[in-house]
Amino acid sequence: MAADNRYEEEEVRTDDGSPITKPRPIVRLGIFLVAHSPVFSVVFSAAGVLALLLLPLLAKNTYISENALMPGSARSMLSNRDASDGSKLVKDIKNFRLNHEGQGVEVQRLIGKYMSEMVAEVYYQKFQPEGNQFHPLHFFSGPASYTLLRNVSCASYGVNVVGIIRAPRGDGKESIVLVTPYDFINGGDYEDLSLGVVSSLFSLLSRVTWLSKDIIWLVADSRYGDYRPVAAWLAEYHTPSFKVSDQLKCDELNTADNFRRAGTVAAALVLKVDGRSERFEDILSIYADASNGQMPNLDLINVVNYLAVHRQGFHVKVEKVVSLLSSSWLKIVGEIFEAVGKVAHTLNPDWKFGIPAAEYIEGSATLASSLYSQAFGIPTGPHGAFRDYQVDAITLKISPGFPPDSKARQHDFFLRGSQLLEGTIRSVNNLLEKFHQSFFLYLLTSPSKFISVGVYMIAFALLVASLPMVAASLYVDGCKALTKSTHNSAENFKSWKWLDAAKQVFALHLLGFIVTLLPYFICQVPGQHSPRNRSIMWGTTSSLLLVTFVTIPGCSPFSSRLHGTNWAILKSVTISAAFIGLCLMSIINFATAEIGALLLVPTCLLAQPIKPALRSRRVKSLLGAFCSMVLVTIGFPVIFFAITKGLVGEGLVGLSLGGEFWTWLESLWAWKSATYLYIGMVHLPCWLLCVCILFHPS
């Protein structure tokens, strides 16, 4: 951007006819790029899409970056006795369940008793399940600044059980957290298994001498979701509230005043066991995405993956978009790349970038899922709560390959599961500093392959590179046109012609900001409303606002007839705004920016007034107008949402769409996703401006 606008000004100067010295080569290159911007914008955009498709090929194998971790170098100390401890806990819980139906508190006591038998410090923490709150702007502040003190009802609260083992070699300044989400009222057989695994490990850790970081075992009450109890515990852990909570009054368990802490959390592992796998072997799924596309340090995933694959023989996988696996176009692309790779290999045996088509498809499906969950900005599990406190955490979800009542294999499962956790904890235990060696910004294409930020940014950079070029060339064109049409204004304000257009762009961005904040007020409307009604309310208010804005003279793009604003300048300013917005978003959340750029860049580039195109009746211009109409239609957030739903396989078009969309957005702002801000404050205004350019009365 920087360079380009400079060159464009350079061009203006040449038009004046004043003698200038021969510009430097880089300036001439810039002028060349700007002068041929249509060609280059097509080339760059195509290259951007191609680079995105190439990403699975460019994935590197993961490696352990931090030397101190040394995974798997120590022999496991876990014995059969520890595993049978775990089995005993599971059996006790099952028996207890049979005898006392629906008494959650008693189960918590039972777990607490087991923990204290293993010489752990035990306490219970109460928390309040939180409703959906509208706080999208909290994205910019730290986690501590939104502890809300609200009325507390005794009717519903959850209780976390926490046990702490103090490290014999530590100074109590660091800790490692193990989390097992557990529904105390109606937990299934598989959930019991996760308790069994961790309690086997806990029984070992209470005896070992090598521990230098305290171990915290958090049994999170997952009646109100997995995330909320962990977030509540973390909030209490990091920001103690000195007010006496009302919760203490309504009480069966004595939780007052005994919240214990154990220093900075170095890493956290969430263990979940659910459902039986389709295969015979046990499957370990790794979930790592936290809010707003943040990922834990890659080393943590590497350690777990290494131990699980090479030591314990789990089948490790990460999430993928299943519908992509069977898509035929992806298969064709994969085969083309494979063929190209083979040809390149025959030309020079050192070139090894081709991968088999099947692997490519697998990688793309995983990459798509990785992109999707990062763009969504919603954490994929309770580990997301840790990321808000800069703690690296992942969720390990194990699907055992045996029925829950198979005793023999259960014992073996406990042994292997807790050995995996033991190895990971041992590695983290070795760390002297925070995780910092490896990547924080990456996309996974398989559990052992990743694409780092330096590679995936190229695709985005190519995609948006055309924006400043086109903006500069349009600016020059617009200035020329204005100078021709109005001689008076040409004398004055030679370089301030963009002010009118900037005013209009600003007005629409302001509108976008207001529309973004509207749900806050809609949620305050008294009475129960269905999501559909709320979305209708939102839609009507927004359109009313839009109409008001359009009628205000001066800031409406449609009133430009009076000012004689050129649409080219309006488009140039729009593109600049889109460019700034996309670049900002790419720093906040790359995946959102990438998907947003795929939508917004072609829309912005192709937007042109359709009136002259219709008048000219030439095939080329008609085609252009048609394309831009289609792009603008797809670009509208609601329609894009519907199309994505349709692609994923949940075909729905109709009245329920508004409600679904509302629910989706609600989930976005409830999780403080920056994607919501992006949609409201960058995408929507730019989309509106493109519509304005389409119907520009020129």
Stretch that binds another protein, among 35-43, 208-216, 258-266, 486-494 (CB under 8 A): 486-494
Site for another protein (CB under 8 A): which residue of 137, 344, 510, 639?
Answer: 137
Q: Which is nearer to another protein, 147 or 530 (CB)?
A: 147
Please give the helix or strand (H or E) that residue 399 lies within, else none.
Answer: strand 392-399
**Number of other CB atoms surrounding residue 8 within 10 Å:** 24
Site for another protein (CB under 8 A): which residue of 123, 498, 671, 687?
Answer: 498
Site for another protein (CB under 8 A): which residue of 151, 495, 524, 528?
Answer: 495
Q: Which is nearer to another protein, 217 or 549 (CB)?
A: 549
The verdict on 239 binding another protein (CB under 8 A) reads no
Q: At a CB cut-off of 8 Å and minimum separation 6, what does 618 contact?
A: none
User: Using CA atoms, how far apart are residues 218 and 233, in angstroms rounded to an integer?
Assistant: 9
Could you give the 3-state DSSP secondary structure of residue 265? strand
Bridge partners of 287, per DSSP, are 395
Buried b (16+ CB within 10 A) or exposed e, 460-478: bbbbbbbbbbbbbbbbbbb
User: Using CA atoms, how far apart are residues 604 and 467, in angstroms rounded to an integer?
Assistant: 8
DSSP string, 287-323: E---GGG----HHHHHHHHHHHHHTS--EEEE---HH
The verdict on 184 binding another protein (CB under 8 A) reads no
Please give the helix or strand (H or E) that residue 203 lies within, else none.
Answer: helix 189-205
The distance of closest approach from Cβ of residue 256 to another protein in the complex, given in angstroms and rounded to an integer, is 24
Binding mask 516-555 for another protein (x = CB under 8 A): ----------------------------------------
Backbone angles phi, psi at 539, to 5 degrees: -60, -45
Two tokens at 458?
Answer: 């190229």
Residue among 589, 569, 567, 593 nearest 683 (CA): 593
Two tokens at 146?
Answer: 């939104």
The distance of closest approach from Cβ of residue 650 to another protein in the complex, given in angstroms and rounded to an integer, is 33
Residues 144-173 that bind another protein (CB under 8 A): 145
Buried b (16+ CB within 10 A) or exposed e, 184-211: beebeebbbbbbbbbbbbbbbbbebeeb
Bridge partners of 624, per DSSP, are none
Site for another protein (CB under 8 A): which residue of 458, 502, 627, 670?
Answer: 502
Residues 292-311 that bind another protein (CB under 8 A): 294
Residue among 537, 474, 535, 530 nearest 501 (CA): 474
Stretch that binds another protein, among 55-63, 218-226, 409-417, 576-584 (CB under 8 A): 576-584
Stretch that binds another protein, among 369-377, 402-410, 488-496, 638-646 (CB under 8 A): 488-496
Binding mask 22-41 for another protein (x = CB under 8 A): --------------------
Residue with tokens 């190439």: 54
**Number of other CB atoms surrounding residue 247 within 10 Å:** 18
Q: How many residues bind another protein (CB under 8 A)?
A: 33
Site for another protein (CB under 8 A): which residue of 237, 314, 475, 590?
Answer: 475
Two tokens at 70?
Answer: 């040394």
Site for another protein (CB under 8 A): which residue of 390, 530, 548, 616?
Answer: 390
Stretch that binds another protein, among 94-102, 121-129, 573-581, 629-637 (CB under 8 A): 573-581
The distance of closest approach from Cβ of residue 588 to another protein in the complex, given in angstroms and rounded to an integer, is 6
> Rounded to the nearest 10 degrees, how much is the dihedral formed by the CA atoms of 520, 526, 531, 534?
-60
Q: Which is nearer to another protein, 105 or 137 (CB)?
A: 137
Q: Which is nearer to another protein, 90 or 578 (CB)?
A: 578
Binding mask 421-440 for another protein (x = CB under 8 A): -------------------x
Q: Are 602 and 45 in contact (CB under 8 A)?
A: yes
Q: At a CB cut-off of 8 Å and minimum separation 6, what does 345 contact?
A: 351, 352, 354
Bridge partners of 395, per DSSP, are 270, 287
User: Using CA atoms, how far apart are residues 389 and 265, in angstroms rounded to an integer?
Assistant: 9
Q: Which is nearer to another protein, 340 or 499 (CB)?
A: 499
Site for another protein (CB under 8 A): which residue of 203, 446, 576, 603?
Answer: 576
The distance of closest approach from Cβ of residue 552 to another protein in the complex, given in angstroms and rounded to an integer, is 14
Q: Which is nearer to another protein, 330 or 385 (CB)?
A: 385
Stretch that binds another protein, among 104-112, 190-198, 308-316, 494-502 (CB under 8 A): 494-502
> Rounded to the nearest 10 degrees, how much is the dihedral formed by the CA atoms of 373, 378, 383, 388?
120
Q: Which is nearer to another protein, 167 or 677 (CB)?
A: 677
Site for another protein (CB under 8 A): which residue of 2, 155, 408, 562?
Answer: 2
DSSP one-letter code for 377: T
Site for another protein (CB under 8 A): which residue of 32, 63, 210, 493?
Answer: 493
The verdict on 407 binding another protein (CB under 8 A) reads no
Q: Which is nearer to another protein, 454 or 646 (CB)?
A: 454
Stretch that binds another protein, among 6-14, 226-234, 253-261, 523-531 (CB under 8 A): 6-14
Residues 580-609 that bind another protein (CB under 8 A): 580, 583-584, 587-588
Binding mask 649-678 for another protein (x = CB under 8 A): ------------------------------
Residue with tokens 């368990």: 253
Q: Give the largest Cα separation in the chain, rounded.
A: 97
Site for another protein (CB under 8 A): which residue of 80, 141, 406, 485?
Answer: 141
Q: Which is nearer to another protein, 475 or 676 (CB)?
A: 475
User: Using CA atoms, how far apart are residues 676 and 137, in angstroms rounded to an integer?
Assistant: 10
Give residue 673's Cα distance to chain centre: 8
The verdict on 481 binding another protein (CB under 8 A) reads no
Stretch that binds another protein, among 3-11, 44-52, 274-282, 659-667 (CB under 8 A): 3-11
Two tokens at 257?
Answer: 């005043």
Backbone angles phi, psi at 671, to 5 degrees: -95, 15
> Which residues here bind another protein, judged by CB under 8 A?
1-2, 5-6, 9, 13, 137, 139-143, 145, 294, 387, 390, 440-441, 475, 492-496, 498, 502, 573, 576, 580, 583-584, 587-588
